[in-house]
Structure 1
Amino acid sequence: MTVITTFKERRREKEMKYERKVMSGISLEKLYKEMMRYFQPLMFYSTKNNRSVEEGCLDIAVEAFLLGAKYSRFGYYGEQEEKVRARSEKEGKKLVSALFDYLSFWTEDHYELPTGDGLYMLCEAYVDGWWTEGFRFGKKRYALKLS
């Protein structure tokens, strides 16, 4: 007897399988280094547990990486990176807003960092950087027929 599954369940299984494969292209060390590069000045302003701030930043980085990898299929088939980024802009903005809200909660109300950048702009650059990293990694996987 065969097991009947719904389309949504099957799609979610395929997404999870793809995400597990893509996660091989990102190391915890690299995630941590990039997080410190962007948010080291912010850790000084954290009034609460720095570990919580780090975990939130790393979580958003992984989500942005996976989002870029998910949309890399369009880049592999010839679409320009800017157009692909526009396709995923809605999800990307949600990640930026989530990171901004998270950091605003865990830090004091210092929206201007010593570098002169606003916190929202810093969050935007962080998410965009990881999106691009995921996009390029996913595009390379498609080119090598690893997906």
Structure 2
Amino acid sequence: MENITSLSDKRREKQINYERSILKDLTLTQLKTKAYECFGVFMHSGKFDYSAIEDGCIDFSIEAYLLGASYSRFGFFGETMQTVNARSRREEKLLVDQLFDYMLIWGNPGENDFKNESIYYACEFLIHLWWSEGFEKGEKRLKLRLH
């Protein structure tokens, strides 16, 4: 007797395989380096525990990378990166807000509004950086027919 699989199961399996293949281009060293570039300056202030937030930065960076890679098909079909980014702006903003909340909880930045604003811009920069990187890698894989 044959197993009956649903269309949603097949789609999910295809998505997982795509994510595995796209993540092969990404290294942990790259993720840690970019996270340190964005948030290392806050560590030197003395009140920011970088070791507590590094794992979260890596997780959110991977999510942003995968989001950009999933939207790269629009770039492959002729849209510019800016128009595709506008298309995914809501999901990217959600990642930025979640990373910022994570920073406020685990990073212990205090009540300084100026510092909190700086942290938000650093979160925004990190997410957009990895979104762009994922977009470019995904588009390259599509052009090379590696999808």
TM-score norm. by structure 2 comes to 0.91
Assess if the C-alpha contact under 8 Å between 1:22 and 1:69 holds in 2. Answer: yes
Aligned length: 143
Gap runs ≥5 in structure 2: none
Following TM superposition, the consecutive aligned residue runs of length 4 or more in structure 1 with deviations greater than 4 angstroms are none
Provide the rounded CA distance (Å) in 2 between the counterparts of 1:111 and 1:10: 47
1:61-104 deviation per Cα after TM superposition (whole angstroms, max 9, x unaligned): 00000000000011011011111111111111110000000001
- Give the equivalent residue in structure 2 for 1:108: 109
The CA deviation at 1:144 is 0.3
1:35-69 deviation per Cα after TM superposition (whole angstroms, max 9, x unaligned): 1000002234225xx43310000000000000000
1:87-145 deviation per Cα after TM superposition (whole angstroms, max 9, x unaligned): 111111110000000001112224534xx962111111110000000000000000000
Same amino acid, percent of matched pairs: 40
Provide the rounded CA distance (Å) in 2 between the counterparts of 1:144 and 1:88: 24
TM-score norm. by structure 1 comes to 0.91
Gap runs ≥5 in structure 1: none
**Match status 1:145 vs 2:134:** no
Assess if the C-alpha contact under 8 Å between 1:111 and 1:119 holds in 2. Answer: no
Provide the rounded CA distance (Å) in 2 between the counterparts of 1:11 and 1:77: 21
Q: 1:30 to 1:39 in 2, by over 3 A?
A: same
